[in-house]
Amino acid sequence: MFPSRLFHNREVKGLDIGEFETQLRELMGAPFPDRPFVCEGSPLDCQVFIVGINAASSMKDDFWDFWRPGYGFDRATWLDAYLATRTKPSRTRKAMQIIMDQAIAEHSEVRFLETNIYSIPTARENMLKSHQKSTKVFDFLLASIKPQVLLVHGAEPAQYVRNLGLGESTIVIESPHFIYVGHDKAREHGREIARTIRRAN
C-alpha cells in the first residue's frame, strides 16, 4: 500500500522562492535532519527530478543549514559536508553525477533536483519503518515545481510514480536502481534527458 498523496491533487501555482520556503518550512518543520532534496539554487528552476526510494546515508547536519533565503539550496556546501562523512561517494551518487554532467554538457540549461519518495535515510531500503514511509515532501515538490522530466530509479519509486498518473506534461524515464547502472548507461540517461528538455523547449 502506498502512503496518501497529500499534495498530488492540490495545485500550487506561481510560487516564488520565498513562498516556497514558507510552505516547505510549514510542511517539514525545523530543524529537519533528513534529506528531502538536493539542488543548486532555487528548486523552482529545476526541470528534471532524479527520484529514488530514500537516501542511504544520514548526516548530522540540518537541511536548513544549507538553505539560503532568496537563493535556495547550497548544493556545493552540502556536497562538501556529505563527502566529509564518507571515504568516497556512493555508487548511486557517482551515477547521478555522471548523468547530470552528461546532460549539462549537451544542454547547458538543464537544472536538476535530486530527491526520493521518502525523506528518511537508511542504510538499506528494507530498514524503513512503516511510519517513515511518508511521501508528503515529494508530493509537495512535484506539485509546486511541476518538472518536465522524472528519472526514476528503483522498482518501488517507479511504481509510485506510475500510480500518480502524471499525464503527458511530465516525461517519466524509468531506470534500475543506480547501484546497477554503469557509466555508459548513466551517460545514456544524461543524453536522453538533454534531448527531452530540448524538445520540450
pLDDT bin (cut points 50, 70, 90) of residue 123 is low
pLDDT bin (cut points 50, 70, 90) of residue 70 is very high
Residue 114 identity (one-letter amino acid): E
- Percent of the chain predicted with pLDDT > 70: 92
Question: Which cell numbers in the block locate residue 28?
Answer: 517539514
Give the whole-angstrom CA distance, residue 86 versus residue 103: 26
| pTM (2 d.p.) | 0.89
What mean pLDDT comes out for the span 82-90?
A: 84
pLDDT at 12 over 70: no
Average pLDDT, the chain: 88
- pLDDT score recorded for residue 195: 96
Cα three-residue angle 135-9-27, rounded to 5 degrees = 45
pLDDT at 1 over 60: no
Question: Which cell numbers in the block locate residue 110?
Answer: 538543464
Question: 149: how many CB neighbours lie within 10 A of its CB?
Answer: 22
- pLDDT score recorded for residue 6: 36
pLDDT bin (cut points 50, 70, 90) of residue 200 is confident
pLDDT bin (cut points 50, 70, 90) of residue 49 is very high
pLDDT, tens digit (0-9, with 9 covering 90-100), for 138-185: 999 999 999 999 999 999 999 999 999 887 889 999 999 999 999 999
Give the list of residues 6+ apart from residue 41 with CB closer than 8 angstroms, or none: 71, 72, 73, 111
pLDDT bin (cut points 50, 70, 90) of residue 2 is very low
